[in-house]
Structure 1
Amino acid sequence: MAPPPAALLLLLPPALAALLAGAAAATRAPPRSIAVVGAGIGGSAVAYFLQQHFGPQVQLDVYEAANVGGRLATVTVNKQQYESGGASIHSLNLHMQDFVKILGLKHRREVAGKSAIFSGEHFVLEETDWYLLNLFRLWWHYGISFLRLQMWVEEVMEKFMRIYKYQAYGYAFSSLEELLRSLGGEAFVNMTQRSVAESLLEVGVTQRFVDDVIAAVLRSSYGQSVLVPAFAGAMSLAGAQGSTWAVEGGNKLVCSGLLKLTKANVIPARVTGVSLHSSEGRALYQVHYEDDEGQGSGFYDMVVLTAPLHPSKSNFTFQNFEPPITDFPGAFQPSVTSVVHGYLNSSYFGFPDPKLFPFASILTTDTPDLFFNAMDNICPVNISSAFRRKQPQEAAVWRVLSQQPLDKQQLKTLFRSYYSVQVTEWQAYPHYDSAKSLPPIVLHDNLFYLSSVEWVASSMEMVAVAAKNVALLAYNRWYQDLEKIDQKDLMHKVKTEL
């Protein structure tokens, strides 16, 4: 069925014109093949969502140079696996919740442990076993700052949660700015351009609370200061406030499970670039890669890039595009995870008797002399019903987060002695600079950049939200359903559709 001429559609009643246009779009064949670059949570989630929308007949090739899971990774200590990458998932992360349910995975059993914030000389805030005492201590030290923080975060999260309803109705956004405007108007866009410290001080949070508590949370999550943009800060603080969980067996099982469910063809190769060609009047993309056998390439109707396109991360090239697709500004924040099996030096934290050390998690303030951002006594990814957390005087497995690898003297400062140290160096998060503009989602007709979302905020769920958006955007653009892209006043539209 040939599509009716545009002039004819103008003469028809609107309902009939829409019906004919929809029928014409429905006759278009789906993409024959789609390439996804990267098999972390972004790549595996977008492969799943693309198959949901385009159907199982589409060939899905997922390129991954390292391990499936990306920054969701584990290390082995004494035949037990421990998370070395993304460790926790918020209870409001609905896409991650759905993935676990679809894949038949389970939530890992929680093992309670207290937290404290360390200044380099003493603990500025200590958690107790008593909820009311914790509240009293917060009030005593910081007044009602913690309540103002909670109200601010809840307001942001309430608006952010609209994205799930929009996506359930098939709406997508062609830019990060449009996505943010649909959720919280210009206020959300502005939150990517001003710091979290500035935003919190504006709503009445004290400077002391920002310096002690907010700084500690952001050092633990992003390895950066209170100058990170307000939106990224709000997402991080929401994770610190609410209940969190993890996947039994390791969070990376979500990635491998989604790829297995979609029957995606995982290609162990490093993608070096994409070049543009044309076929039958439409764009065709050639993906160039290197593997153990040398160089190769493949042709695709659609490509989704989930690896960061920044000079510090890759030497990715784009060929034959006009206008040219150039490198993206910005850099990534070095982040080092050291998984140490050893005896904590509790004296460094003011507890000469290790038996009296009460904390399982230590966050730190932004103090120049502190060489680590956070550390926690971690549990294995498989926890039996008989599992108990190690006593403070026993050898335990600690995860230490820092910006640089720990030297021997620093390890000796934190641990009386240790059996093993396993170091993973990540460039896990953007180095947030509120002066930078947000990267694009659409690089060409059917060429999409999923990882641009990390410049708004970086977490498993933010990437999963972006994956759903890219899949919907790709589907709506492919079938020219423009009424589902960048629509204004979506809350009203969704209510009327109900």
Structure 2
Amino acid sequence: MLTATLIILLSIFSLASSSQSQSQSTTDVCIIGSGIAGSSVAHFLRKYSPTISQIRIFERHPVVGGRMATVTIAGETFEAGASILHPKNYHALNFTHMLNLKVKGPSASDSSFSLGIWDGQKFLFKTIDSDSKSQLVQYFISFANSIRMLFRYGISLIKMNNFVEVTVDNFLKYYESKESRPVFSSVEEMLKWADLYNLTTQTLEEELVGLKFSPLLIQELITVITRINYGQSVRISGLAGAVSLAGSGGDLWSVEGGNWQMAAGLIDRSNVTLHLQEEISLITDVGGFYELNSTNGNSYTCQITVVATPLDELTTQFIPEIYIPERKLQHTHATFVRGVLNPAYFGLNAVSDIPELVGTIESSELPFTCISVLKEHSANDFTYKLFSRQSLTDALLDQIFSIRNETLRINWGAYPHYHAPEVFAPFILDDMHLYYVNAFENAASTMETSAVSAENMARLILSRLAGQQPSGSYGLKSSTSDSNLQHPEL
């Protein structure tokens, strides 16, 4: 009788185990989000440690890349989300090199890109433009535009460059060797170590006024830049503003065919189990592990869970509940139009009189933050990209454009709505191994800042697994840093 009972119990246990194994699996690391942050965490974990046995990445969309995405118009591919990289974005440069991707630098025409600052009624400032293909002519035009801008905005233009250079130089500390660079357990620690924290305690406007910048430069050119890059005014935090200004310089680049390929390549290289179109709806601490339940009805158990997507608009629930400071995302509406702008809308006589980049000052009356020419297909056929804070109606687009053959709209929860002083979410969301790599976005949101945060996150995870305080590179596999691939001086 006892034997029969044991057999029945073993059979029930076997059936239960078999049923559970179909819907539940155990893994070392689960990452939620396949953008540059999530893919970089996977890459650096593999790079720094031989002990990570399995990594899963969950992506609710059918493609990887997060806020890196492209659209195709007239057979041409254009960036629809995160689009530009700085020449000193060394992680992105090394990813591109490592993955054999092609760098797309500025074209010859980009150097003579005409700019206009629009106030809703007139152009406050326009650069000189020319159809000449002569490099000498373009050089003199560029020089003349520099003189005109210097005449309008004064010595503050030079101060602006110095302000950006100092910020970039401080940011370069994050590429120092692991032996000389601590592991940071909070965003505040990370920023203070690089002498960047104070920039998050006041607005960009306050910072620039304190540096005695020309009010006209702040109200016009710098406002145009912050509206283009972050969809916000100069009342964003000082660090986000400095990063925005750095993104308006020369030698900017992207990946040929789309920046999303960096995320795809890192995921592929990192031997990741990728779950596309699977959204995690519930994360539960079950005592030393995390149970992740997805909208597909699946359950996964993870020793380490990394949230690599903004929590602000995520519907994922946590048991027990987690706390992060309240934060709003700045939504940027990207509208792509194939057609021709209406010169009469701008008070001009010909399409050729409209600058190739129309930036705008801060005004509630203006329906868009900028309009730029992405491609001139022919004299009466262009592809444009418009950024705005609200969706642009067909009626409004029909006023702005005289011809509109194709229209695509994308609504991005693109980056935080910046303010000062900034309050940061924690990197570590509980007492165990629940992490939030996007906490760094409240300092500045770019592809490179996500990669920098991800590199620190990987080291933080490994140092805590090794039982070490996060103040060094303890427990990390010796490895040549990514920056050394192309920048041994760092």
Please give the TM-score of this superposition, normalised by the length of structure 1: 0.83
**Off by >6 Å, runs of 4+ in structure 1:** none
Offset of residue 347 of structure 1? 2.8
Partner Cα separation in structure 2 for residue 203 and residue 242 of structure 1: 23
- Greater alpha carbon shift after TM alignment, 101-110 vs 462-471: 101-110
Which residue of the partner structure matches residue 270 of structure 1? 279
Within the candidate set 85, 91, 95, 1:95 is matched to: 91
Distance 1:414 1:56, change over 3 A: farther
Partner Cα separation in structure 2 for residue 470 and residue 346 of structure 1: 50
* Alpha-carbon displacement from aligned partner over 1:263-319 (angstroms, at most 9, x marks no partner): 2111121111211122xxxx211112112xxx2211111111011122xx1222211
Offset of residue 123 of structure 1? 2.2
Offset of residue 37 of structure 1? 0.2
Offset of residue 57 of structure 1? 5.4
Alignment: residue pair count: 432
Asked if 1:143 is matched to 2:154, the reply is: yes
Offset of residue 157 of structure 1? 1.2
Offset of residue 155 of structure 1? 1.1
Distance 1:168 1:249, change over 3 A: farther
Which residue of the partner structure matches residue 45 of structure 2? 50
Partner Cα separation in structure 1 for residue 433 and residue 359 of structure 2: 43
Asked if 1:38 is matched to 2:25, the reply is: no
Which residue of the partner structure matches residue 263 of structure 2? 255
Asked if 1:246 is matched to 2:242, the reply is: no
Partner Cα separation in structure 2 for residue 151 and residue 57 of structure 1: 43
Distance 1:298 1:56, change over 3 A: same
Asked if 1:456 is matched to 2:443, the reply is: yes
Asked if 1:442 is matched to 2:433, the reply is: no
Which residue of the partner structure matches residue 10 of structure 2? none
Offset of residue 171 of structure 1? 3.0
Partner Cα separation in structure 2 for residue 481 and residue 102 of structure 1: 31
Distance 1:56 1:339, change over 3 A: farther
Asked if the contact 2:57/2:274 (under 8 Å) is kept, the reply is: yes
Within the candidate set 50, 58, 62, 1:63 is matched to: 58
- Helix, strand or coil for the counterpart of 1:161? helix
Which residue of the partner structure matches residue 286 of structure 1? 291
Distance 1:168 1:401, change over 3 A: farther
* Structure 1 letter corresponding to 2:302: Y
Which residue of the partner structure matches residue 332 of structure 2? 335
Asked if the contact 1:40/1:70 (under 8 Å) is kept, the reply is: yes
Which residue of the partner structure matches residue 70 of structure 2? 74
Offset of residue 413 of structure 1? 2.4
Asked if the contact 1:171/1:472 (under 8 Å) is kept, the reply is: no
Which residue of the partner structure matches residue 193 of structure 1? 201
Percent sequence identity over matched residues? 28
Partner Cα separation in structure 2 for residue 244 and residue 167 of structure 1: 27
Which residue of the partner structure matches residue 172 of structure 2? 161
Which residue of the partner structure matches residue 374 of structure 1? 370
What pairs up with 1:165-180 in 2 under 5 angstroms? 165-167=176-178, 169=180, 171-180=182-191
Distance 1:486 1:442, change over 3 A: farther
Within the candidate set 418, 422, 436, 1:432 is matched to: 418
* Structure 1 letter corresponding to 2:143: L
* Structure 2 letter corresponding to 1:461: E
* Structure 1 letter corresponding to 2:361: T
Partner Cα separation in structure 2 for residue 412 and residue 478 of structure 1: 58
Offset of residue 118 of structure 1? 1.7
What pairs up with 1:371-410 in 2 under 5 angstroms? 371-379=367-375, 389-390=376-377, 393-410=379-396
Which residue of the partner structure matches residue 305 of structure 1? 307
- Greater alpha carbon shift after TM alignment, 48-57 vs 407-416: 48-57
- Helix, strand or coil for the counterpart of 1:351? coil
- Helix, strand or coil for the counterpart of 2:240? helix
- Greater alpha carbon shift after TM alignment, 54-63 vs 339-348: 54-63
Which residue of the partner structure matches residue 319 of structure 1? 319
Offset of residue 154 of structure 1? 1.0
* Structure 1 letter corresponding to 2:155: I
* Structure 2 letter corresponding to 1:124: L
Asked if the contact 1:174/1:486 (under 8 Å) is kept, the reply is: no
Distance 1:258 1:353, change over 3 A: same
Which residue of the partner structure matches residue 491 of structure 1? none
- Greater alpha carbon shift after TM alignment, 324-333 vs 190-199: 324-333
Partner Cα separation in structure 2 for residue 141 and residue 109 of structure 1: 29
* Structure 1 letter corresponding to 2:34: A
* Structure 1 letter corresponding to 2:88: L
Distance 1:394 1:110, change over 3 A: farther
Offset of residue 483 of structure 1? 6.5
Distance 1:141 1:263, change over 3 A: same
Partner Cα separation in structure 1 for residue 300 and residue 325 of structure 2: 25
Asked if 1:414 is matched to 2:400, the reply is: yes
Structure 1: where are the runs of 5+ without partners?
1-30, 380-388, 488-497
- Helix, strand or coil for the counterpart of 1:225? coil
Which residue of the partner structure matches residue 455 of structure 2? 468
* Structure 1 letter corresponding to 2:81: G
Q: How large is the RMSD of aligned CA atoms in angstroms?
A: 2.1
Partner Cα separation in structure 1 for residue 356 and residue 412 of structure 2: 24
* Alpha-carbon displacement from aligned partner over 1:365-384 (angstroms, at most 9, x marks no partner): 112221001121114xxxxx
* Alpha-carbon displacement from aligned partner over 1:251-272 (angstroms, at most 9, x marks no partner): 1111111111112111121111
* Structure 1 letter corresponding to 2:183: A
* Structure 2 letter corresponding to 1:59: Q
Please give the TM-score of this superposition, normalised by the length of structure 2: 0.84
Asked if 1:114 is matched to 2:117, the reply is: no
Partner Cα separation in structure 2 for residue 352 and residue 211 of structure 1: 27
Asked if the contact 2:69/2:79 (under 8 Å) is kept, the reply is: yes
Which residue of the partner structure matches residue 464 of structure 2? 477
- Helix, strand or coil for the counterpart of 1:378? strand
- Helix, strand or coil for the counterpart of 1:158? helix
Which residue of the partner structure matches residue 6 of structure 1? none
